[in-house]
């Protein structure tokens, strides 16, 4: 059974059940029709004898004068005659009717088993059974109530084989019809099972193609439909899409990382080569070491940022959300960041009290500190940074405004891309990952980040999220 396909297993199972049901139906049909036919035979026997009773009459000699019919049959009996009408049916549809004396002597009619029924007592209006040479006969007796005939009996007999022809017909038709039905149902079932299981084969084929060709773009195409298999294939397609995205994210990560790390590594190599070319003073060695140290720190920062970013993108479930006081969080981040005091820039903040939201403390802290760091980094000396937190009807808005160098219109669409730096020469310690992370954090909180900026005048970054 192990090697059989599901299609064959289903077909085999319902074929066996169907054959059993059909065989049972056949037996029931035979038994019920047998009973009905036997009852019809008995009813027919009773009906024939009953109608024959009316065809027999007695006439005394005195009454005979007026009788002229020459078609009817007359039998001398007692002080007169028995008149048997020509409608008397002594043999019809296998039913034999005979007129007998109460001793069993035949007066008129036919009885094929007259010897065997001789000993059978006459009982009025009752069907009796007698077996002759293994064949069952039904016997029906009737006592005529007509004057002068009270001593006689009408006896009807019929064999149970009278219904054989009908039974043969029924069994022949059933034997042709029922197996044809079974064959039809099995072929139909096999075809339908194949049709219904086709999506499964398509899914297996698609999975095999993906495995063999590593082509994550492949999808299961089942066409229109809303059954379980269609829903399953949709789930699979969604899974393939997610796999494709995460696979590309990882590929992108590896390629971006190697590309970005190349510069500091090249600087370190060049610095080392240059320094080792000849004997150096200890100050020169110290300078060289500082360059290597700086580049090392830069690489370290970059690797950490990339790891954080990838972790948030691929495993957001690692960051739990809680109900937190965003006012308190903003306040404390601003207090810390105000201490930087870089380029004589002042940081002020206006925070609406008791603004609560559902979020991740670590990520929201990172979002705000990234925006403020950028405002310092790209702010003008002696400038000003303004942070504000406000809460509307059903939205929270957190914004960081600076009066720094601003961003050119053509750079605006790109600044949230990973490793994008509008002007690499101005960035100093940045690595182009800060805003990508900010955007990812905003998405994690089902919020959005927007920017307004005028070159030379300053920029405002705003984070909006639902309460």
Q: Which residues bind ligand ADP (CB under 6 A)?
A: 374-375, 377-378, 402, 404-407, 415, 420-423, 427, 430-436, 459
Query: 207 by DSSP, 3-state: which?
Result: helix
181: Cα separation from own chain's centroid: 29
The two tokens of residue 206 are 């698609």
Q: Whose Cβ is closer to ligand ADP: residue 391's or residue 431's?
A: 431
Q: Write down how long the chain is.
A: 467
Quote the least distance from Cβ 245 to ligand ADP, whole Å.
Answer: 21
Quote the least distance from Cβ 461 to ligand ADP, whole Å.
Answer: 7
Least Cα distance to 449 among 431, 432, 465, 429 occurs for 465
Which residue in the block uniquely carries the two structure tokens 């494709």? 244
Distance CA 25, CA 20 (A): 9
DSSP for 93-136, written as a single string: TTEEEEEEETT--EEEE--TTHHHHTTSPP-BT-EEEEEETTEE
Quote the least distance from Cβ 457 to ligand ADP, whole Å.
Answer: 10
Quote the least distance from Cβ 439 to ligand ADP, whole Å.
Answer: 9
Q: Whose Cβ is closer to ligand ADP: residue 312's or residue 375's?
A: 375
Which residue in the block uniquely carries the two structure tokens 């069994």? 171
Quote the least distance from Cβ 459 to ligand ADP, whole Å.
Answer: 4
Q: Do 384 and 346 touch, CB atoms closer than 8 A?
A: yes
When CB distances to ligand ADP are compared, the closest residue is 430
Quote the least distance from Cβ 420 to ligand ADP, whole Å.
Answer: 6
Q: Do 88 and 53 touch, CB atoms closer than 8 A?
A: no
Q: Whose Cβ is closer to ligand ADP: residue 37's or residue 405's?
A: 405
147: left (phi over 0), alpha (psi -120 to 50) or beta: beta
Q: Whose Cβ is closer to ligand ADP: residue 364's or residue 422's?
A: 422
Q: Do 162 and 41 touch, CB atoms closer than 8 A?
A: yes
Q: Whose Cβ is closer to ligand ADP: residue 165's or residue 409's?
A: 409
Quote the least distance from Cβ 296 to ligand ADP, whole Å.
Answer: 18
């Amino acid at each position: 059974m192990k090697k059989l396909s599901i299609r064959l297993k289903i077909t085999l199972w319902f074929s066996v059940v169907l054959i059993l049901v059909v065989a049972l139906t056949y037996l029931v049909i035979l038994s019920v029709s047998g009973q009905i036919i036997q009852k019809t035979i008995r009813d027919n026997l009773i009906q024939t004898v009953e109608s024959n009773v009316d065809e027999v009459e007695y006439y005394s000699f005195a009454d005979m004068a007026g009788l002229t019919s020459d078609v009817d049959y007359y039998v001398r009996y007692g002080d007169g005659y028995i008149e048997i009408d020509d409608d008397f049916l002594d043999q019809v549809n296998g039913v034999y009717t005979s007129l007998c004396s109460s001793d069993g002597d035949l007066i008129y009619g036919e009885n094929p088993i007259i010897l065997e029924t001789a000993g059978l007592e006459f009982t009025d209006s009752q069907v009796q059974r007698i077996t002759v040479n293994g064949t069952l006969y039904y016997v029906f007796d009737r006592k005529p109530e007509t004057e002068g005939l009270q001593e006689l009996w009408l006896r009807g007999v019929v064999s149970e084989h009278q219904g054989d022809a009908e039974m043969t017909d029924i069994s022949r038709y059933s034997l042709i019809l029922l197996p044809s039905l079974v064959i039809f149902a099995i072929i139909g079932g096999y075809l339908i099972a194949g049709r219904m299981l086709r999506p499964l084969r398509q899914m297996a084929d698609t999975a095999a193609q993906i495995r063999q060709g590593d082509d994550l773009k492949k999808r299961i195409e089942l066409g229109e439909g809303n059954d379980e298999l269609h829903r399953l294939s949709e789930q699979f397609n969604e899974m393939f899409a997610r796999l494709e995205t995460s696979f590309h994210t990882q590929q992108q990560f590896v390629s971006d990382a190697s590309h970005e790390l190349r510069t500091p590594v090249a600087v370190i190599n060049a610095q080392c080569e240059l320094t080792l070319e000849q004997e150096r003073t200890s100050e020169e060695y110290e300078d060289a070491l500082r360059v290597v140290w700086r580049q090392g720190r830069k690489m370290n920062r970059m690797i950490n940022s990339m790891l954080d970013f990838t972790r948030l993108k691929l495993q957001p479930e690692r960051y739990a959300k809680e109900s937190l006081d965003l006012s308190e969080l903003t306040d404390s981040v601003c207090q810390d960041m105000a201490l930087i005091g870089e380029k004589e820039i002042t940081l002020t903040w206006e925070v609406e009290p008791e603004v609560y939201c559902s979020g991740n403390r670590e990520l929201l802290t990172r979002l705000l500190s990234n925006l403020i760091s950028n405002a310092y980094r790209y702010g003008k000396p002696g400038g000003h940074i303004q942070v504000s937190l406000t809460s509307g009807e059903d939205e929270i808005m957190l914004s960081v405004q600076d009066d720094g160098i601003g961003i050119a219109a053509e750079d605006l669409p790109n600044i949230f891309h990973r490793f994008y730096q509008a002007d690499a020469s101005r960035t100093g310690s940045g690595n182009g990952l800060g805003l990508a992370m900010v955007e990812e954090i905003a998405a994690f909180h089902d919020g959005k980040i927007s920017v307004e900026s005028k070159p030379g005048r300053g920029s405002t970054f705003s984070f909006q999220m639902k309460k």
